Structure 1
C-alpha cells in the first residue's frame, strides 16, 4: 500500500490529510517510520465487517468527528505537555 501519511503530517494538517488520502483508498499511517494504523472509509469498514451502513449520506469524516460528544478529561495544558513529550523523542 503506497497511500501513506505520517503522524506528523496528521498533527500538522489534521483530518484534511486523512480525507485527502482516503480519496485514493485506505491510508496507512506511519509513526516514527513504522506502520501504526490503517484508516478505511466507513463504507469499506462496513463491507469488511458485514455490517449494514447507517443512512448518513454526504457527511465527511470531519463533520462526523465534530458531531461526536466530547469524552476527554484532559485540559489543554495536559494535552500540550503530552505533545511536547512526544515531539522530544
Structure 2
C-alpha cells in the first residue's frame, strides 16, 4: 500500500504528518476516500524534473549562528538600526 495520510490527519497534526511520511517516500494525500495529491521531497522533485540539486550545504541554526562574525554593538546602535527597519 502507498504511504498515505488523510486530510483529517493533516488538519489534526499539521505539517509534521507530511514530514514524517516523507521519510518513507512520496506521501499520498487522501480526501473523501479518493487520492487528492502526492507530496514529494525536494530532491525527488528535482530528480523527476531534471533540475540540478542545489549544491547548498544544509546547516542547522546553531551551525549558522556559530559562523556569524562576533561583533559587539551598543544598545543605541541596535535601537537605531531597528528604528530604520521599521520606518518604511
CA distance change for structure 1 residues 58 and 35 in 2, over 3 Å: closer, same or farther? farther
Q: Give 1:56 shift.
A: 5.5
Instruction: Give the RMSD, CA atoms, in angstroms.
Output: 1.6
Normalising by structure 1, we get a TM-score of 0.61
Partner of 2:39: 39
Q: Does 1:3 align with 2:9?
A: no
Q: In structure 1, how many angstroms separate the alpha carbons of the residues matched to 2:42 and 2:21?
A: 14
Normalising by structure 2, we get a TM-score of 0.61
Q: Deviations over 1:30-76 (max 9, x none)?
A: 001100000000000000001112325257xxxxxxxxxxxxxxxxx
Q: Give 1:2 shift.
A: 1.7
Structure showing greater Rg:
2
CA distance change for structure 1 residues 20 and 35 in 2, over 3 Å: closer, same or farther? same
Give aligned pairs, total: 59
Q: In structure 1, how many angstroms separate the alpha carbons of the residues matched to 2:33 and 2:3?
A: 14
